[in-house]
């Protein structure tokens, strides 16, 4: 924690104000922020002055100009690679290492392990990889001799896992994914589905306690309304699904093959094709519609899509169709978890993280099946 002490010393001289909190090592979560005394709801626990934020606006002009067309994410990553200010090294020393990312971040895993992430997580991963490769190509062409692809990927993942939502009049026009800023010290807050309030005001970026905290308790912020698939791919961790009201899992792989091509086109024309999810409580509405029409002749489908057909008489068959599809998923989860248990690909901790994600999915699916079948009684 020497690196953190140095960061705090430097941060204080730069105007960062910590009030009753301190970064500490938290088992399984790296560094986190812990209350040093009892903290009252709405107390400001940290203020970071605007001048310390690393944003599109604060990036040296020659970098922004050289990277025309690059995402803000990609530009901030390049600026991290190109930074030479010695004080920046003090901040960087508190960041995770490349080896940490090799363990936690699926984009760094070998292909064989990446192949075993849940369906929706895989789609996110492919998108993330594409976004990275586009940013990298622009940066490589603009700065061919300044950093390697691996160094750039590290910086890109730092920006991905540690930036905050932030806009300025200049960046408002950009895509919301590009409204980002890096900032020291407050980038040490871990995530929970309910967390402290964050805001920008005249003094800078501030975080306010969302509730009373006892001394020794960890303070969190919420990174967003994210499922565990999203947290896994973007941030390299998962939380128990009963602690994550935003968790869900995609059942497209099991639901979609139940339809003929012609039927899938009818579904698509009615905007009901794909994105079939199950969350902590139940299949989502789209999944229910899909299961419902599966049990009906096609001439009855328009009434379902228009919401004019009475759902009472269809409900038993809908539940049966859903339970059937979810049983296919459950069987596949067992196969995938066996495959993970037998695998030697990647690091053991990465496989454990993946196994935990699948355990959450299994629990979600089994609970949902039990509910559907209980309702039958
Ligand atoms: C913004 S940083 C937070 C500080 C970080 N723990 C550290 O040591 O620097 C985000 C990273 O913290 C970790 N993290 C955040 N919330 C977590 C949680 N609830 N459980 C496990 N890891 C978490 C993940 O590695 C994530 O990518």
| CB distance 236 to ligand 1 below 6 Å | yes
The yes-or-no verdict on residue 364 having pLDDT over 60 is yes
Label residue 113 by pLDDT band (50, 70, 90). Answer: very high
In this structure, is residue 182 part of a structural domain? no
CA of residue 190 to ligand 1 center, whole Å: 5
Closest atom, ligand 1, to C-alpha of 100 = 25
| CB distance 101 to ligand 1 below 6 Å | no
In this structure, is residue 330 part of a structural domain? yes
Label residue 375 by pLDDT band (50, 70, 90). Answer: low
| CB distance 56 to ligand 1 below 6 Å | no
Per-residue confidence (pLDDT) for residue 376, from 0 to 100: 55
Pocket probe mutation, ligand 1, options 235, 242, 244, max atoms within 8 Å of Cβ: 235
pLDDT digits (tens, 9 = 90+) for 255-303: 999 999 999 999 999 999 999 999 877 899 999 999 999 999 999 999 9
Closest atom, ligand 1, to C-alpha of 96 = 9
| CB distance 29 to ligand 1 below 6 Å | yes
| CB distance 226 to ligand 1 below 6 Å | no
221 touches 193 (CB < 8 A): no
pLDDT digits (tens, 9 = 90+) for 125-148: 999 999 999 999 999 999 999 999
Domain span including residue 324: 246-371
Per-residue confidence (pLDDT) for residue 169, from 0 to 100: 80
How far apart (Å, rounded) are the C-alpha atoms in residues 99 and 89? 18
How far apart (Å, rounded) are the C-alpha atoms in residues 250 and 285? 13
In this structure, is residue 303 part of a structural domain? yes
| CB distance 136 to ligand 1 below 6 Å | no
Closest atom, ligand 1, to C-alpha of 28 = 21
Label residue 240 by pLDDT band (50, 70, 90). Answer: confident
CA of residue 192 to ligand 1 center, whole Å: 10
Computed over every residue of the chain, the mean pLDDT equals 95
In this structure, is residue 260 part of a structural domain? yes
pLDDT digits (tens, 9 = 90+) for 228-239: 999 999 999 999
In this structure, is residue 31 part of a structural domain? no
pLDDT digits (tens, 9 = 90+) for 25-35: 999 999 999 99
CA of residue 31 to ligand 1 center, whole Å: 7
Q: Percentage of residues in the chain with pLDDT exceeding 70?
A: 99
In this structure, is residue 174 part of a structural domain? no
In this structure, is residue 194 part of a structural domain? no
Pocket probe mutation, ligand 1, options 46, 181, 233, 237, max atoms within 8 Å of Cβ: 237
| CB distance 32 to ligand 1 below 6 Å | yes
CA of residue 29 to ligand 1 center, whole Å: 5
Per-residue confidence (pLDDT) for residue 280, from 0 to 100: 74
SS (H, E, C) the chain: CHHHHHHHHHHHHCCCEECCEEEEEECCCEEEEEECCCECCCCEEEEECHHHCECCCCCCHHHHHHCCCCCHHHHHHHHHHHCCCHHHHHHHCCCCCHHHHHHHCHHHCCHHHHCCCCHHHHHHHHHHHHHHHHHHHHHHHHCCCCCCHHHHHHHHHHHHHHCEECCCCCCCCCCHHHCEEECCCHHHCEEEEEEEEEEEECCEEEEECCCCECCCCEEEECCCCCCHHHHHHHHCCCCCHHHCCCCEEECHHHHHHHCCHHHHHHHHHCCCCCCCEEECCCECHHHHHHHHHHCCCHHHHHHHHHCCCCCHHHHHHHHHHHHHHHHHHHHHHHHHHHHHHHCCCCCHHHHHHHHHHHHHHHHHHHHHHHHHHHHHC
In this structure, is residue 277 part of a structural domain? yes
The yes-or-no verdict on residue 326 having pLDDT over 70 is yes
The yes-or-no verdict on residue 377 having pLDDT over 60 is no
**What's the domain count of the chain?**
1
| CB distance 159 to ligand 1 below 6 Å | no
């Amino acid at each position: 924690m020497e690196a953190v002490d140095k960061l705090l010393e430097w941060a204080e001289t730069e105007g960062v104000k910590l009030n009753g909190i301190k970064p500490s090592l938290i088992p399984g979560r790296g560094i986190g922020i812990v209350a040093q005394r009892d903290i009252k709801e709405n107390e400001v626990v940290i203020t970071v002055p605007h001048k310390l934020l690393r944003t599109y606006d604060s990036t040296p002009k020659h970098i922004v100009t050289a990277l025309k067309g690059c995402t803000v994410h990609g530009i901030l990553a390049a600026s991290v690679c190109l930074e030479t200010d010695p004080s920046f090294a003090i901040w960087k020393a508190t960041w995770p290492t490349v080896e940490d990312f090799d363990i936690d971040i699926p984009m760094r895993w070998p292909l064989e392990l990446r192949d075993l992430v849940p369906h929706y997580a895989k789609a996110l991963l492919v998108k993330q990889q594409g976004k990275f490769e586009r940013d990298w190509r622009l940066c490589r062409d603009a700065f061919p001799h300044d950093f390697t692809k691996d160094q750039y990927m590290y910086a890109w993942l730092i920006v991905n896992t540690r930036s905050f939502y932030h806009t300025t009049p200049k960046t408002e026009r950009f895509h919301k994914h590009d409204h980002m800023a890096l900032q020291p010290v407050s980038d040490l807050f871990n995530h929970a589905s309910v967390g402290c309030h964050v805001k920008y005001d005249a003094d800078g970026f501030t975080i306010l306690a969302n509730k009373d905290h006892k001394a020794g308790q960890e303070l969190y912020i919420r990174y967003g309304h994210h499922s565990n698939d999203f947290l896994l791919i973007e941030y390299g961790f998962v939380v128990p699904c009963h602690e994550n009201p935003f968790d869900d899992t995609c059942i497209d792989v099991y639901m979609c093959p139940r339809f003929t091509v012609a039927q899938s086109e009818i579904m698509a024309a009615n905007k009901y094709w794909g994105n079939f999810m199950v969350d902590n409580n139940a299949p989502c509405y789209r999944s229910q519609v899909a299961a419902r029409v599966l049990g009906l002749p096609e001439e009855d489908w328009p009434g379902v899509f228009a919401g004019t057909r009475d759902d009472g008489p269809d409900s038993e068959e809908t539940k049966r169709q859903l339970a059937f599809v979810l049983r296919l998923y459950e069987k596949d989860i067992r196969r995938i978890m066996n495959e993970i248990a037998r695998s030697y690909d990647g690091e053991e901790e990465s496989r454990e993280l993946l196994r935990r994600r699948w355990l959450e999915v299994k629990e979600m699916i089994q609970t949902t099946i039990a509910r559907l079948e209980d309702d039958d009684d």
